[in-house]
Amino acid sequence: MISLQNQIVLITGASSGIGTACARVFAAAGAKLILAARRWERLQQLADLLSKDIHTEIHLLQLDVRDRAAVEAAISSLPPSWSDIDILINNAGLSRGLDKLHEGSFEDWEEMIDTNIKGLLYLTRYVVPGMVKRDRGHVVNIGSIAGHQTYPNGNVYCGTKAAVRAISEGLKQDLLGTPIRVTSVDPGMVETEFSEVRFHGDTERAKKVYQGVTPLTPDDVADVIFFCVTRSPHVNINEVVLMPVDQASATLVNRRT
Tell me, residue by residue from 7 to 46, as one string, x for binding to ligand NDP by CB under 6 A and - for no binding: -----xx-xxxxx-----------------xxx--x----
- Looking only at residues 116 through 155 of this chain, which bind ligand NDP when binding is defined by CB under 6 A? 119, 142, 144
**Element (H or E) spanning 87, and its range?**
strand 87-90
Tell me, residue by residue from 168 to 207, as one string, x for binding to ligand NDP by CB under 6 A and - for no binding: -------------------x-xx-xxx--x----------
11 forms beta bridges with 35, 89
In whole angstroms, the minimum distance from the beta carbon of 249 to ligand NDP comes to 13
Q: From its phi and psi, is residue 224 left (phi > 0), alpha (psi between -120 and 50) or beta?
A: alpha
Q: Which is nearer to ligand 8X3, 119 or 154 (CB)?
A: 154
Q: How far apart are CA 188 and CA 127, in angstroms?
A: 27
Rule CB under 6 A: is residue 146 a binding residue for ligand 8X3?
A: yes
58 forms beta bridges with 33
| Contact region with ligand 8X3 (CB under 6 A), list: 33-41, 44-52, 141-149, 233-241 | 141-149
Give me the amino acid identity at 2: I
Give the residue from 10, 7, 76 showing the smallest Cα distance to 43: 10
Q: Which residue is nearest to ligand 8X3 (CB)?
A: 144
Which of 7, 20, 124, 144 binds ligand 8X3 (CB under 6 A)? It is 144
Q: Which is nearer to ligand 8X3, 175 or 185 (CB)?
A: 185
Query: Is residue 210 among the annotated active site residues?
Result: no
Rule CB under 6 A: is residue 88 a binding residue for ligand 8X3?
A: no
Beta-carbon count within 10 A of 48 CB: 11
187 forms beta bridges with 242
Beta-carbon count within 10 A of 202 CB: 12
Query: Which of ligand 8X3, ligand NDP, none does residue 250 bind (CB under 5 to 8 Å by kind)?
Result: ligand 8X3
Rule CB under 6 A: is residue 163 a binding residue for ligand 8X3?
A: no
Q: Which is nearer to ligand 8X3, 130 or 159 (CB)?
A: 159
Q: Which is nearer to ligand NDP, 38 or 68 (CB)?
A: 38
Q: How far apart are CA 142 and CA 62, in angstroms?
A: 20
Q: How far apart are CA 72 and CA 145, in angstroms?
A: 30
Give me the amino acid identity at 249: S
Alpha helices (runs of H) in the chain, residue ranges in sequence order: 17-28, 40-54, 68-76, 106-112, 120-134, 155-174, 194-198, 203-209, 218-229
Task: Write out the catalytic residue numbers.
Answer: 157
Residues that bind ligand 8X3 (CB under 6 A): 144-146, 154, 188-189, 250
Residues that bind ligand NDP (CB under 6 A): 12-13, 15-19, 37-39, 42, 63-66, 91-94, 115, 119, 142, 144, 187, 189-190, 192-194, 197, 218
